[in-house]
Amino acid sequence: MSKIITRTVWILSFVSLFTDVASEMLYPIMPLYLKSIGFSVVLIGILEGVAEATAGLSKGYFGKLSDERGKRVPFIQLGYLLSTISKPMMALLTFPFWIFFSRALDRLGKGIRTGARDAMLSDEATPQTKGKVFGFHRALDTLGAVIGPSLALIYLYFFPQNYKTLFFIAFAPGMLAILFSFLLKDKKREVNASNKKISFFDFVSYWKTATPEYRKLISGLLLFTLFNSSDIFLLLGLKQSGINDSTVIAIYIFYNLIYALFSYPLGAVADKIGLKKVFVFGLTLFAAVYFGMGVTNNPMIYYVLFFVYGIYAAATEGIAKAWISNIADKKDTATAIGTYTAFQSICTLLASSIAGFVWYRFGSQTVFILTGSATLVVIIYIVRIKINTSLKSV
């Protein structure tokens, strides 16, 4: 394992771990805090929409910029820095404009670092070890989503409704992430020989020049994303069934724990039997969870479903990026992943909007059954596509 999980992979994984502790510590209390300073539900929805759009579109631009400059570390450091300083800003500056600015700054940080970080992870792996490397990173990253909300629950137990202090506490693990990022070193790599100015939407042109294999794979992944709405709808489903807030957060933490525990083992399995097989396995579990949410109202079954949902995430999130990095030209890795994650964010926004409308008009069961059914179509597509590559791990 030590030969596969290099020093750089360890550092990137710890940087993500500390950042996720900070971000996920605020996840359970963000809506409560925003309401306490006067935000309506509609304004919260607009805020999250702007934030996710900022993250999504910037991923493509900064991914391409990283490839063009031949640098990874500066983008990683700046991205994590912006996300860290945005945390206390949200507590210090409570006017709506500054809240929007702070939240957008946090998501811009994610957009700046994502493509460069994933490309750096890809550079540390061979085609036969991509599953393990990306799986290991997802495991530590997601462990932060276990630690963060757990710390928030403990804190709020002793200091109920004292939300602002949590934003300052979250600054500490964020600073640790920044300090760890200074241990990273860029490797010499091929730079795309071009002096042209890169526009914000320049990454879109990559779709035209990418290989047919890339376009076929991304089409399938984005089709899935169009029906994969925010996890908040699953949590709302739990809430609607009568489960209290603390139990909903506990189930969310449980899901992330399973996700973290299974990410590396499933990455190792994917390297042995193929990334495609494990990814399809994950989609099958996803469909089963949504069908289950559509037909059950039993709290104990919810724990089983979220256990399965954790395995689904472990079998798809890191695997998808590993798969993309294997079929993209090495000099375009950040662009390839950044382009995918940019389009993915846009599709997620559409998916959540559609899910919200369907939920409002036809109820939660319709959303869950429709999502499960659409996923079966995506599975058929993924199974049938032929990715022409000599890489054994695909």
- pLDDT tens per residue across span 215-241: 999 999 999 998 887 787 887 788 777
pLDDT of 192 > 60? The answer is: no
Distance, CA of 79 to CA of 60 (rounded, Å): 14
C-alpha dihedral, 156 to 160 to 162 to 166, nearest 10°? 0
pLDDT of 53 > 80? The answer is: no
- Residue found under tokens 């996720």: 20
pLDDT of residue 244: 78
The closest of 299, 317, 221, 304 to 260, measured between CA atoms, is: 317
Distance, CA of 47 to CA of 39 (rounded, Å): 10
3-state secondary structure 101-132: HHHHHHHHHHHHHHHHHHHHHHHCCCCCCHHH
pLDDT of 176 > 90? The answer is: yes
HSE-up of residue 128 (Cα within 13 Å, Cβ side): 4
Name the fold adopted by 7-184+203-384: Growth Hormone; Chain: A; (1.20.1250)
pLDDT of residue 189: 63
Which has more confidence, 148 or 299? 148
Summarised one tens digit per residue, pLDDT across range 262-292 is: 999 999 999 999 999 999 999 999 999 999 9
Which has more confidence, 52 or 309? 309
pLDDT of residue 391: 41
Instruction: Please count the residues of the chain.
Output: 394
Mean pLDDT of 91-111: 88
Mean pLDDT of 43-67: 81
Which has more confidence, 183 or 390? 183
pLDDT of 200 > 90? The answer is: no
Contacts of 384 (CB under 8 A, 6+ apart): none
Tokens representing 336 are: 């390839």
pLDDT of residue 392: 38
Summarised one tens digit per residue, pLDDT across range 102-153 is: 988 998 999 999 999 999 999 998 888 999 999 999 999 999 999 998 998 8
Question: Burial letters for 114-145: b for 16+ Cβ neighbours within 10 Å, e otherwise?
Answer: bbbbbbbbbbbbebebbbbbbbbbbbbbbbbb
Ranges of H-type helices in the chain: 7-26, 30-36, 41-69, 73-92, 96-123, 130-158, 163-169, 171-181, 206-209, 212-225, 232-240, 245-273, 275-295, 299-327, 333-362, 364-384
Distance, CA of 116 to CA of 119 (rounded, Å): 5
Q: Which of 42-51, 67-76, 165-174 is least confident?
A: 42-51
**CA angle, residues 317, 323, 328, in degrees to nearest 5:** 130
Which has more confidence, 49 or 272? 272
Mean pLDDT of 12-24: 94
pLDDT of 28 > 90? The answer is: no
pLDDT of residue 40: 76
User: Do residues 7 and 136 touch, judged by C-beta distance below 8 A?
Assistant: no
pLDDT of residue 175: 95
C-alpha dihedral, 273 to 275 to 280 to 282, nearest 10°? 100
Neighbours of 191 (CB within 10 A): 12
- Residue found under tokens 């946090």: 106
pLDDT of 191 > 70? The answer is: no
pLDDT of 194 > 70? The answer is: no
pLDDT of residue 193: 52
pLDDT of residue 275: 92
The closest of 59, 387, 49, 393 to 218, measured between CA atoms, is: 387
In this prediction the pTM is: 0.85
Helix/strand/coil for 387: coil
pLDDT of 37 > 50? The answer is: yes
User: Do residues 78 and 112 touch, judged by C-beta distance below 8 A?
Assistant: yes
Which range has highest mean pLDDT (252-256, 294-298, 310-314)?
A: 310-314
Question: Burial letters for 296-309: b for 16+ Cβ neighbours within 10 Å, e otherwise?
Answer: beeeeebeebbbbb
